[in-house]
Amino acid sequence: MSDFEHVFETPPPGAAADWTIPQDWRDYTEVEHRTWSTLYARQMQVLPGRACDAFMRGLDALPLDGGIPDLALLNEKLNALTGWTVVCVPGLVPDEVFFDHLAHRRFPSGQFIRKPDQLDYLQEPDIFHDVFGHVPMLTDPDFAAYMEAYGKGGQRAASLGMLPNLARLYWYTVEFGLMREGEGLRIYGAGILSSATESVFCLEDPSPNRLGFDLERVMKTLYRIDDFQQVYFVIDSLEQLKRETLQDFGPIYTRLKGAETIAIDAVLPTDQVFTRGTQAYAAKGGRF
Ligand code: HBI
Ligand code: FE
Taking only Cα atoms into account, the Rg of the chain, rounded to an integer number of angstroms, comes to: 18
Residue 6 covered by a domain: no
Of ligand 1's listed atoms, the one at least distance from the Cα of 93 is: 1
- Ligand nearest to C-alpha 128: 2
Check which CATH number belongs to the domain holding 189 and give it: 1.10.800.10
Residue 178 covered by a domain: yes
The tally of domains found in the chain comes to 1
Range list of β-strands (E), the chain: 85-89, 106-110, 178-181, 184-187, 209-212, 231-235, 273-275
Q: How far is the CA of 269 from the centre of ligand 2 (A)?
A: 31
- Ligand nearest to C-alpha 132: 2
ipTM: 0.95
* 3-class DSSP assignment, residue 262: strand
So what's the pLDDT on residue 2? 47
Of ligand 1's listed atoms, the one at least distance from the Cα of 166 is: 17
Angle between helices 196-204 and 30-46 (to 10 degrees): 20
Please work out whether the CB of residue 153 comes within 6 Å of at least one atom of ligand 1: no
For the chain, the straight-line distance linking the first and the last C-alpha, in angstroms and rounded, comes to 27
Q: What is the tally of helices (H) and strands (E) in the chain?
A: 13, 7
- 189 CB neighbour count, 10 Å cutoff: 30
Residue 239 covered by a domain: yes
- When pLDDT is cut at 50, 70 and 90, the band that residue 127 belongs to is very high
Domain that holds residue 120: 25-283
Nearest CA to ligand 1 atom 7: 92
Please work out whether the CB of residue 108 comes within 6 Å of at least one atom of ligand 1: yes
pTM (global) more than 0.90: yes
What region does 114 belong to: left with phi over 0, alpha with psi -120 to 50, or beta? beta
So what's the pLDDT on residue 147? 97
State CA 245 to chain mean position distance: 16
DSSP state, residue 121:
-
Residue 216 covered by a domain: yes
Percent of residues in the chain assigned helix, strand, coil, to nearest 5: 50, 10, 40
Instruction: Tell me which of 92, 123, 150, 169 to substitute to probe ligand 1's pocket, judged by most ligand atoms within 8 Å of the beta carbon.
Output: 92
Residue 20 covered by a domain: no
Of ligand 1's listed atoms, the one at least distance from the Cα of 110 is: 2
Please work out whether the CB of residue 98 comes within 6 Å of at least one atom of ligand 1: yes
- Ligand nearest to C-alpha 194: 2
Please work out whether the CB of residue 219 comes within 6 Å of at least one atom of ligand 1: no
Residue pLDDT, tens place only, 54-110 = 999 999 999 999 999 999 999 999 999 999 999 999 999 999 999 999 999 999 999
State CA 216 to chain mean position distance: 19
Of ligand 1's listed atoms, the one at least distance from the Cα of 7 is: 9
Q: What is the mean pLDDT of the chain?
A: 94
Decide if pLDDT at 7 tops 70: no
- CA atoms within 13 Å, Cβ hemisphere of 20: 13
So what's the pLDDT on residue 8? 66
Residue 17 covered by a domain: no
So what's the pLDDT on residue 183? 85
Residue 64 bridge partners (DSSP): none
Please work out whether the CB of residue 218 comes within 6 Å of at least one atom of ligand 1: no
Nearest CA to ligand 1 atom 1: 92
Let me know: does 91 contact 124? Beta carbons within 8 Å. yes
Please work out whether the CB of residue 190 comes within 6 Å of at least one atom of ligand 1: no
Let me know: does 286 contact 227? Beta carbons within 8 Å. yes
State CA 71 to chain mean position distance: 19
Residue 14 covered by a domain: no
Q: How far is the CA of 149 from the centre of ligand 1 (A)?
A: 15
